Amino acid sequence: MQELVRNRLEGRKIIIAGFGREGRSTYHFLRRIMPLHPLTIADCNMNVAADPEIINDDKAEILTGDNYLENLQSFDIIFKTPGIPTAQLPDNLDRKKITSQTDVFLRLFGRQVIGITGTKGKSTTSSLVHHILKSGGRRTVFVGNIGIPPLDMAEQITPDTIVVMELSSHQLEYLTRSPHISVLLNIFQEHLDHYNGYEDYQQAKFNIGRYQETGDFFLYNSDNDLIVKHLAACKGCKHLAIPFTNSKNRNTGIFYRDSKVILDLNGEEQTVFDDRAGHLLKGQHNLLNIMAAAASCFLAGIDEPSISKAVRTFSGLEHRIEYVGKFGGIEFYNDSIATIPEASIAAVKTLQQVDTLILGGFDRGIDYGVLYPFLAASNVNNLIFIGEAGARMKNEFEETHLPGKSLYLARDFNEVVEIAFRVTARDSICLLSPAAASYDMFKNFEERGRIFKKLISEYKK
């Protein structure tokens, strides 16, 4: 393994762009296999220059400050980390020089990888795949967007290990190899601040299947028009493309019939999940996640009884339509992960009895046009808005739809909770599903969700 990487990098001028978690991991990996090779580390954080991990490395040059990316063109190989937006790269940079930890890992272990991406649902689906594999007795590791850089686990991977990779668009940007089993759940507007345009984001997502080989499997949501468009344009793709769908009118690929998930390969139908005993993941969007996870594990060699048993015991993840509890006669749900309108719509549809919906946060310029008619026709009576995105949503909703809903603009989450307790009907639901990013007031969506839960549980009328 090490020899393959060393042969590609030996004698090349290498820079690691970004020295966060993945940048450090890449540095450690390269030092394990090439302890004396000159490396350059670039990061906007001035403190990196005094970092104890690299300050005594006399083969490492450190670039910091506002102009840390300006000399990228002088390097032969650029390890770009996910935290560096593509939009910040110099316009004249030869993109063929760019690689990533994800690409190196897939070059080494791609035949053993189940990779999952999507604007929404990738964490739930990846976690479910890992849960099924472990429950089925398979040796497996879980890496990627969950916070574990894949090369950190390289030495633990044996020939019989199945690697589950949750992949963000940032990790997929510069690939030359895709996973053996790739899952593309959906593509919606997201991370527009990272890319030069929405099309670039779409292309990055589709890379999960673009570089597969003959014998690989590409599982895709055929209900998502953007995915279908990119698949049709992928003339050189070598994979076997297998659609999955919620439509009751389709009986090809992966579909749901008679309380079973069916996989149809070459006209031969096989049950991959028996749902007659039920499962704990609510909503039609989660049914799609289950279909993708079950079929992926079946293709990886897990039998249907093992898959069905594992799915029934999987309870989902924090901040994803998470039940907080009943307080003051109101049921509260935390769906802080919802940072786009389509996710908020799915949450309202899943819970059905939502009386109060909390929306807003950091404004990234997302088009909320799909949200307003849905809310106007829904049974949601109270809309609490917060942040710049919330203020824009409130104004646009008022401009485009007739009155009939009660609208509130809160200054902070303390006021959000106060309004929620005051206006939400008893024995109904208050849902935090913001349709916006969190980093105007919080460091991430997890912090937003946990503070919301804390404020709810501690609220005194």
* Alpha carbon distance 204, 208 (integer Å): 8
Domains of the chain listed by start with CATH number: 2-99 (3.40.50.720), 102-312 (3.40.1190.10), 322-458 (3.90.190.20)
pTM over 0.95: no
- Whether the pLDDT of residue 65 is over 70: the answer is yes
For residues 291-320, average pLDDT: 96
Task: Please give the angle made by the CA atoms of 301, 306 and 311, to the nearest 5 degrees.
Answer: 110
* Alpha carbon distance 40, 44 (integer Å): 13
- Whether the pLDDT of residue 283 is over 90: the answer is no
Q: What is the pLDDT of residue 191?
A: 67
Q: What is the pLDDT of residue 331?
A: 96
Q: What is the pLDDT of residue 280?
A: 87
* Alpha carbon distance 30, 16 (integer Å): 10
* Alpha carbon distance 42, 66 (integer Å): 10
For residues 352-357, average pLDDT: 96
Return the closest-CA partner of residue 335 out of 315, 312, 358, 366.
Answer: 358
Q: What is the pLDDT of residue 401?
A: 79
Quick: pLDDT tens for 143-184: 999 889 999 999 999 999 999 999 999 999 999 999 999 999
Quick: pLDDT tens for 264-280: 998 899 999 999 999 98
- Whether the pLDDT of residue 290 is over 90: the answer is yes
> What is the rounded average pLDDT for all residues in the chain?
94
Q: What is the pLDDT of residue 1?
A: 65
Count of Cβ atoms closer than 10 Å to residue 346 Cβ: 22
Q: What is the pLDDT of residue 141?
A: 97
Confidence tier at 235 by pLDDT (50, 70, 90): confident
For residues 245-254, average pLDDT: 85
**Nearby residues of 172 by Cβ (< 8 Å), 6 or more positions away:** 102, 117, 204, 205, 207, 208
What's the chain look like in SS3? CHHHHHHHHCCCCEEEECCCHHHHHHHHHHHHHCCCCCEEEEECCHHHHHCCCCCCCCCEEEEECCCCCCCHHHCCEEEECCCCCHHHCCCCCCHHHEECHHHHHHHHHHHHEEEEECCCCHHHHHHHHHHHHHHCCCCEEEEECCCCCHHHHHHHCCCCCEEEEECCHHHHCCCCCCCCEEEECCCCCCCCCCCCCHHHHHHHHHHHHHCCCCCCEEEEECCCHHHHHHHHHCCCCCCEEEEECCCCCCCCEEEEECCEEEEEECCEEEEEEECCCCCCCCCHHHHHHHHHHHHHHHHCCCCHHHHHHHHHCCCCCCCCCEEEEEECCEEEEECCCCCCHHHHHHHHHHHCCEEEEEEECECCCCCCCCHHHHHHHCCCCEEEEEHHHHHHHHHHHHHHCCCCCEEEEECCHHHHHHHHHHHCCCCCEEEECCCCECCCCCCCHHHHHHHHHHHHHHCCC
For residues 320-334, average pLDDT: 95
For residues 451-461, average pLDDT: 92
Q: What is the pLDDT of residue 22?
A: 95
Confidence tier at 324 by pLDDT (50, 70, 90): very high
For residues 40-58, average pLDDT: 93
Q: What is the pLDDT of residue 247?
A: 84
Confidence tier at 403 by pLDDT (50, 70, 90): confident
CA distances to 50, 379, 401 from 374, in Å = 52, 10, 11
- For 398: left if phi > 0, alpha if psi spans -120 to 50, otherwise beta; the answer is alpha
Structure tokens at 81: 């980390």
Q: What is the pLDDT of residue 461?
A: 63
Count of Cβ atoms closer than 10 Å to residue 441 Cβ: 15
Percent of the chain with pLDDT over 70: 99
Quick: pLDDT tens for 90-114: 988 999 999 999 999 999 999 999 9
Kindly provide the b/e burial profile for residues 280-303, where b requires at least 16 CB atoms within 10 angstroms of the residue's own CB.
ebbbebbbbbbbbbbbbbbbbebe
Quick: pLDDT tens for 186-234: 999 876 677 788 999 999 999 999 999 999 999 999 999 999 999 999 9
* Alpha carbon distance 242, 265 (integer Å): 8
